[in-house]
Structure 1
Amino acid sequence: MQLPRKVPWKNRDELAQVSSWIFNDSNDFEARKRAVKRLKTWLYAHPSSHPVALSATLNLLSSLLLEASSSPTDPHATRLSLSLSLVRFVNSLVDPLQTGQFARPIAMIAAELGIPGWLVELRHAGTHEGLPSVEVLREGAEEALNYLHLAFFLPTLNPQSTSSLLHPQTSDPTSSSSFQGHLSLLPPLLKSYKLLSKSLTKDHSLPSLSLRAVKKDLSGWLDTAERATGSTGDGVRAFVGVLVGGDEELGVLVPVSKKKRSIFTASSPHPPPPLLSLYSPILKSLSKAHPSLPSTLANTILSVIVSQDSEITPQSDSAAETLSSWLVWVFDELLVEGGEEREELISKAIKGVWDNTRAVQLLQVVASRHPAFEARLRPVLSVVDPDHVRTLSS
């Protein structure tokens, strides 16, 4: 029998309300201010018995609200506040596990707790090096809050749930609440990768914040997702789904701004250089550790392209052209020349060529770049109705 424990909230409904104030909308500053007031009340009433996650949450929220205030303080003071809240976040969770005769590395304990490695890097920079930029610190604070949401608030609000990432209990592991919680970590992690990639090119105060930490976290996310489902492929497919998106929302690989998207032609078959330099390194890196990623990504993009209607809006057209350019890049750079994966992808595209101009355009580009496929594709392309073919500029 589990012994009762003293907690600051009067019932789970009160904790759920505070949780909703914090996590439902990160831009709802009034709701977060209410959460700060309630957390302060709890910590004042129970100074020695409250969970450390609550004090960490309070510190992070207070710093984020300070940074977002309409009359912000000195930027240096804001960076100090955000940095200190992250230092205390890591220390408060790691220190209780320093129980041996000799201190263990903080990064080792943090990894055991599932704390993203780049947050440990931020802690190290804030303690021993120059302060990171406000943008990086803000992203780190939001990521830390997301961790607390999954590691403390959700388990506390749902104590009867015994499933875990390592032992899902549903017939479809990807639909379990634990896997969905793990999935919710991915968009902010990819956003952090994007932010760090850009920040490191212009912020010289970040000498130690190598992208290797975020790449390691992304690879770790895939490893955990694969173990969670007990199937090789489910985690990669979930990852690719966030990259590609669908009919209702854009994926990470498609910029929100149409000006930053691809103009897909035979002479410009790959994504624009800024977009390519942003995501190609992480795709190459993850493909080495997860060999099924390139094929899954290419087939998913193709499915999205050929499943959409021929009557397309400018918005969906530019998104499709960007995805097509990524598909050709994956075909050129990540799929093995002469391998079965290329053959299967071409066969799948041919099946959709008769009633889909995007598949036609894709095959035209591939034929122009790969003589080995040009002879095979020429008869198919020659009998396609010209009225349904959008001519490629070269």
Structure 2
Amino acid sequence: MSTPTADLSAAGVSIWLDDLSRSRIDSGNLAELIQKRDVVGVTTNPSIFQAAIGNKNDDSYDAPLVALAQNGADVDTAIFEITTTDVRDAADIFRPVFDETDGVDGRVSIEVSPDLAHDTEATIAQAKELWAKVDRPNTLIKIPATLAGLPAISAVLAEGISVNVTLIFSLERYAAVIDAYLTGIREAAANGHDIATIHSVASFFVSRVDTEVDKRLDAIGTPAATALKGKAGLANARLAYELFEKTFAEPRAVELIAAGATVQRPLWASTGVKDPALPDTLYVTELVAPGTVNTMPEKTLEATFDHGVITGDTVTGAYADAHRTFDELAAAGVDLVDVTQVLEDEGVEKFIVSWHDLQATVRDALDAAR
């Protein structure tokens, strides 16, 4: 019998898990999710590593932290060693998937420090350092789509490094991300790299858009505003896919693809439903489109496996409705430009806070070990 996750995969959506920990790797859980839940990749971020390393019920990091303390490692060195080890080990587990899909899936992402989100040169330097340290072809280096991140994306791709562009909220910024990708691939070709081996995804955040927009709709309080709740995130993502289809059909993209370049796939991120009034699989079942990735927390993955109903493509036929939703939001008084800027600023800040919490956790562990 087919399962909803198998149906989702058959519809052209790659299922990635938005989580990673040493215990998940060591217990065999990650390998089991590949076999039983059709998971073909993993994404990580500072919040995920903070939750994993700071989990007092998980002792799998104790021994590595003791060893690092004995070797005199400082906090940032310890974090770098632990996170790159986890990503390397996860990449090894996914290597068969990577080989079977010719490098499309079987990918594991690791993010540059969020403290560098507004520093182009430091982002480029750390991206190279992470790529060299993990030393696996199925790694993706996550770079945020801040204004400083855009030239870093191009520069890192130009070095032959595969990139996961994260924290995309607006269509305007997504267009700039695609441009940065095409620029980077063109430069990589000029630098003599095999562009067929360079992959990228563009992580477009979904649920956070609804959270911010719905808060504003509640403040407006009219019946027309209330009727729009829970619609902005899907509309935004669907219009992103429309932009993706349009841009990668343009001559500059077609020319690179003909020369061997891969398409930068849209990735739906922040797909855990935060509003209990909405279906818990909303950002999975309503964002089914060929050639996309949906990275989901385990709770959403299990909900999809248990009762998700996959009805095929739910994106490309909904463009007109999505444009209408945007028009109605504007008419109701929602400034989507402001919404997406607030979300980008908050997204960077949240990861910075998680990063600093992680530093504090590791510092305490190193002190205790010493």
TM over 0.5: no
Q: Which has the higher helix share?
A: 1
Q: Which has the higher strand share?
A: 2
Higher RCO by CA contacts (8 Å cutoff, separation 6 or greater): 2
Q: Under TM normalisation by the shorter chain, which class is it?
A: under 0.3
Return the TM-score normalized by structure 2.
0.27
